[in-house]
Amino acid sequence: MVLKILRSRKFAKRVLLGLLILIIPAFILWGAGSVTKGPGLIGKIGKQKIYLNDFAKSRQGIKVQVLFTYYGDLNTLNQILQNRPMINFMAWERLVLLNEARSRKIKVANDDVLSFISQHPLFLRDGAFDKGVYNYILRNNLSVGPRQFEELVRENLQVKLLRHDLLKNINITEEDVLEYYRTMNDRIEFSYMTIDKAPFSEDVTVSDEEAREFYEANKDKFFEPAKVEVEYIELSYENASEKSSVAGEMEKIYPELSKFPTRFRQIADEHGMRYGDTGPFSRRDAIPGIPFFKDFHDMAFAMKEGEISPLVFSAPEKGSAYVLRKVRDIPPRHQGFEELRPDIMKNLAERKTLLLAEKKANELLAKMAETGATLEETASELGQETQKTEPVAFSGYIENIGPAKEIIIHAHKTGQGKLMPPVITQKGALLMRVDNILPADEADFEENKETLRRNLLMQKQANTLDKWFREEAPKVELKKALEEL
């Protein structure tokens, strides 16, 4: 329903002199590509079928919300809106939340939509809502009509009310904030022994039925992403001066490449330049012989088949210049069980060996509790010596184990001098003892307390929403890979 008041004659047209040079250019918001047109089925949320046009609308809703949040920070705004996979994920999450909001009969009245829009700083001039600014932004920066925009805002407010309902019971105490500070800043020393998973592999078997059950339970996640293949010409440079020279050389052959694109390799050979063909690769794949840099992948995926790219540079100073020609696009596809069978069986076997290693570690823990044996004595009985770590913080890395984050969290819950529950790593299960907790200097705690409180609150909110999505949200079924839409 149209919000008549907002667009009535009551709001006179008051477009400011500088409005024609608005600081939020339209290409920042809507120039990063659109959803494939057509009625194709994306997936299901509960009993609701989601089609491409539903997803496109939700993606617009996310972009509107991002604009409302970051309108004063163009750098962040641009970075978020150019991250297409993230926008797509957020758009799908928005659809799930909107489905739940509607099932709970959460509604937003016209007056509430009017109030939100008319009070948002984006549309205010001299402290008052400016209808001219409003219409200009909708037309030239968002490319949407008022009815569509108002409906997107209404849906976003429904989602906001649902989030508030889901998160209303979260409380942060002073003790919570202090504990969070300590977890993030204390350093901890550990002793540990490893229960290697390798000896358990002989006892593990995976049946075809188990593999097929795993596939059926997760088949909506098995997509081979979209890929492209390009051929390229490369010239390297050692400094800014050589970079300029290389650019000049490339520009000389560019007219010939554009006129005869199918002679791409021959032209490279004739001018003594390095030619290469990438073979098929996805956005996540590294390309042999080419250092990974985002501009190469972005250009390759943005081009049309047969198109010649402008120059792409791998680095400001020392690096390589490239001209690309797209050979072909390879669309994403759903992967069948037979092609995935070997990997699924391997991964299930890996999981089983880790579970057996964890079981053995728990048995040793129980025995140590019963007999009073130390970690060193238990390791000696198994022909091992315990290992010791350097003091490590939350953001650190434990050599031969991995990132310390989760281990530090468990160590604080366990306490100094005590044995932790088994820690699972790629190699097996670890029995770890918290040898020493080196307290952080709390002198700056008071100064940073409010920032810590906000960070902890956001973390708890994210964990609560994640739990809701895993345990209570309507069942979802994806027919297409979100990152490829």
Average pLDDT across each block of 10 residues of the chain; the chain has 485 residues. List them in order.
Answer: 35 28 37 50 90 92 91 82 84 94 95 93 90 89 89 95 93 91 93 93 92 88 87 92 88 90 92 93 88 88 91 89 94 89 94 95 95 95 93 90 90 94 92 94 84 92 90 85 71
pLDDT for the residue numbered 241 = 86
Give the H/E segment covering residue 236. Answer: strand 227-237
DSSP β-bridge partners for residue 190: 434
In this structure, the number of other CB atoms found within 10 A of the CB of residue 461 comes to 14
pLDDT for the residue numbered 484 = 67
Residue with the two structure tokens 């909001």: 101
**Burial 304-331, CB ≥16 within 10 A → b, else e:** eeeebbeebbbeeeebbbbbbbbbeeee
420 half-sphere exposure, CB direction, 13 A CA radius: 27
- Residue 281 and residue 274: Cα distance in Å, rounded? 20
- Tell me if residue 346 falls in helix, strand or coil: helix
φ and ψ at 289, to 5 degrees?
Answer: 85, -5
Beta strands in 285-367 (DSSP E): 312-313, 319-330, 333-334
Each residue's pLDDT tens digit, 345-394 = 999 999 999 999 999 999 999 999 999 999 999 999 999 999 999 999 99
- Residue 105 and residue 7: Cα distance in Å, rounded? 28
Pairing, β 48-51 against β 41-45? antiparallel
- ∠ CA 391-393-396, nearest 5°, is 100
Kindly list the structural domains of the chain, giving each domain's residue range(s) and its CATH number in brackets, ordered by start. 17-167+470-484 (1.10.4030), 187-220+337-438 (3.10.50), 227-330 (3.10.50.40)
Give the sign of the dihedral formed by CA 474, CA 479, CA 483, CA 485.
Answer: negative
In this structure, the number of other CB atoms found within 10 A of the CB of residue 394 comes to 21
pLDDT for the residue numbered 420 = 95
Each residue's pLDDT tens digit, 10-46 = 333 332 223 222 333 333 343 334 454 445 888 899 9
| Greatest CA separation for the chain | 87
The amino acid occupying position 159 is V
CB 32 within 8 A of CB 80: no
